Amino acid sequence: MSRRLTVLFSMFEAALTVAVGIALPLVPLTIMWAGYFGFGVDWLVFWRGALDVWLLGHGVDVTFRLDEVTASVLGIAGAEVAVPVTISLLGGALLTVLLAARAGHRIAEAGHRMLGALGAILAVALLSFGLTAVSLHPDARPSLVQAAILPALVYALGLVIGMLRERARRRPAPEVRWVGRIDPSLRAAALGAARAGLGAAALTLAASAVVFAAALLLRYAEVIRLYESLHGEVLGGAVVTAAEFAILPNLVIWTASWLLGPGFAVGMGSAVSPLGTVLGPVPALPILGAIPPEIGAFGYLGLLVPVVAAFLVGAAARRRMLRDAAEDRAAPVRGVLSLTTTVLAAGVLGALVMAGLAAASAGAAGPGRLAEVGPDALTVGLVALIEFTVAIGLGFLVADRRRRG
């Protein structure tokens, strides 16, 4: 494929990704516009709402301005109160990453990867900025700077993942032959740390998804009761469910923060952790009914999940390091200093992943108490650093002992 066709195709696919991301909230909102409001409200209100949802899904802050009546109903003093919403609806970002990864795979196959990737990223940036600029409204103002940058960065992440997967499939890759010139012990230590750290974070997140699904099943009756209390009928329930899918990745990350120990907040003054649950009024999302009022002894058992995950991944990573050294007929990474550095690097990497995800999943979700929602990233990172480092170190130790035995 020629350079021009590669760039045009990449830009078209990027535009299609943006269109799909906006259409997902726009379709149910348009159905609501027709079914609930009988076409009596300007449709552009729902268009701007869908665009704001898409922007929030990519980390763009949106400031809403409440009129005097709404502010009074919410118990906020003063008229025309500005309410910043900074929480990211990570379901939108996850969809963009998945679609962009497929695009990156195709760009890598077509050739002219750099031009294709730059064209796609530029298309997302221009579309995001342009749509935001023409849809600005006094009552809802997204950050134009963030709109021009953050969706494009999310798309770029997906492109990189897709291109790396395609490059890994076609081994040996000429672009990475320089890796072979690195000292074998250093290369083995770096790969071992990466496998252990990223693996610990990934397995903790996978376990968190299972734990959240179990909580949802156990609290199913409460979730249904909350749905019924909304009196939204079928159409309203569908819109609420779509919103819940948008925050589902956030909830999995919050569950991981809970399993690590720090927990999360659902408003100022609230705390949900293995040590107990303190909740006030929460947002009217039925899926939040999965939060149990009391945990009991299970809370302390939950703390073992990330520790066991990191231990298993650490042992597997160490066995892989020893096996690779045997196959390459090279000296394995040994010595207290080398192993300690590798384990610490793995713990730091895993902690950075968990802290970054915690930061991305938290923020302000509305006025008043909702100005603080989600986990504290710094606390999550520090706790994950301790748990992952100790557990991965034990995994390395056990793998070495079994190897000698």
The residue type found at 205 is L
Distance (Å, whole) CA 164 – CA 151: 20
Percentage of the chain with pLDDT > 90? 52
pLDDT band at 79 (very low <50, low <70, confident <90, very high): very low
pLDDT at 62 over 70: yes
pLDDT at 311 over 90: yes
218 and 321 both lie in a single domain: yes
Selection from 95, 374, 386, 364 nearest residue 253 by Cα: 374
- Asked if residue 176 belongs to a domain, the reply is no
User: Which pLDDT does position 330 carry in this prediction?
Assistant: 55
Range of the domain at 398: 183-404
85 and 234 both lie in a single domain: no
104 and 221 both lie in a single domain: no
- Asked if residue 175 belongs to a domain, the reply is no
pLDDT at 176 over 60: no
354 and 233 both lie in a single domain: yes
User: Which pLDDT does position 332 carry in this prediction?
Assistant: 61
- Asked if residue 394 belongs to a domain, the reply is yes
Selection from 176, 13, 171 nearest residue 101 by Cα: 13
Which of the given ranges, 104-118, 225-239, 263-277, 299-313, has the highest pLDDT on average? Answer: 299-313
User: Which pLDDT does position 69 carry in this prediction?
Assistant: 57
**Token representation of residue 389:** 């480092």
User: Which pLDDT does position 175 carry in this prediction?
Assistant: 46
Predicted structure pTM score:
0.89
- The gap between the terminal CA atoms of the chain, to the nearest Å, is 57
Q: Name the domain boundary from 106, 136, 169.
A: 169
158 and 190 both lie in a single domain: no
pLDDT band at 276 (very low <50, low <70, confident <90, very high): confident
Q: What is the 3-state secondary structure (H, E, C) of 78-98?
A: CCCEEEEECCCCHHHHHHHHH
- Asked if residue 328 belongs to a domain, the reply is yes
386 and 237 both lie in a single domain: yes
144 and 205 both lie in a single domain: no
- Asked if residue 305 belongs to a domain, the reply is yes
Torsion angle, alpha carbons of 171, 173, 179, 185, to 10: 0
pLDDT at 174 over 50: no
Whole-angstrom CA distances from 140 to 58, 62, 81 are 16, 7, 12
Q: What is the 3-state secondary structure (H, E, C) of the chain?
A: CCHHHHHHHHHHHHHHHHHHHHHHHHHHHHHHHHHCCCCCCCHHHHHHHHHHHHHHCCCCCEEEEECHHHHHHCCCCCCCEEEEECCCCHHHHHHHHHHHHHHHHHHHHHCCHHHHHHHHHHHHHHHHHHHHHHCCECCEEECHHHHHHHHHHHHHHHHHHHHHHHHHHCCCCHHHHHHHHCCHHHHHHHHHHHHHHHHHHHHHHHHHHHHHHHHHHHCHHHHHHHHHHHCCHHHHHHHHHHHHHHHHHHHHHHHHHHHHCCCEEECCCCEEECCEEECCCCCCCHHHHHCCCCCCCHHHHHCHHHHHHHHHHHHHHHHHHHHHHHHCCCCCCCCHHHHHHHHHHHHHHHHHHHHHHHHHHCECCCCHHHHCEECCHHHHHHHHHHHHHHHHHHHHHHHHHHHHC
Distance (Å, whole) CA 251 – CA 94: 13
- Asked if residue 174 belongs to a domain, the reply is no
Distance (Å, whole) CA 369 – CA 61: 18
Is there a contact between 61 and 86 (Cβ–Cβ < 8 Å)?
yes
Mean of pLDDT over the chain: 87
- Asked if residue 177 belongs to a domain, the reply is no
pLDDT band at 344 (very low <50, low <70, confident <90, very high): very high
Distance (Å, whole) CA 272 – CA 279: 8
215 and 328 both lie in a single domain: yes
Which of the given ranges, 48-62, 65-79, 169-183, has the highest pLDDT on average? Answer: 48-62
Selection from 72, 75, 51, 78 nearest residue 62 by Cα: 51
> What is the number of structural domains in the chain?
2
Read off the pLDDT of residues 107-161 as tens digits, 9 standing for 90 and up.
888 777 889 999 999 999 999 999 999 988 888 899 999 999 999 999 999 999 9
Determine the length of the chain: 405
Q: Which residues of 43-61 are buried (b: 16+ CB within 10 A; e: fewer)?
A: eeebbbbbbbbbbbbbbbb
pLDDT at 331 over 80: no
Please give the average per-residue pLDDT across 228-255, as a whole number. Answer: 85
Q: Name the domain boundary from 104, 135, 169.
A: 169
225 and 198 both lie in a single domain: yes
255 and 144 both lie in a single domain: no
Selection from 105, 113, 152, 104 nearest residue 6 by Cα: 113
164 and 230 both lie in a single domain: no
106 and 247 both lie in a single domain: no
Q: Name the domain boundary from 169, 191, 221.
A: 169
Strand partners, 273: 276
Distance (Å, whole) CA 247 – CA 169: 33
User: Which pLDDT does position 338 carry in this prediction?
Assistant: 82
User: Which pLDDT does position 71 carry in this prediction?
Assistant: 55
pLDDT at 185 over 80: no
Minimum mean pLDDT among 207-211, 267-271, 343-347: which range? 267-271
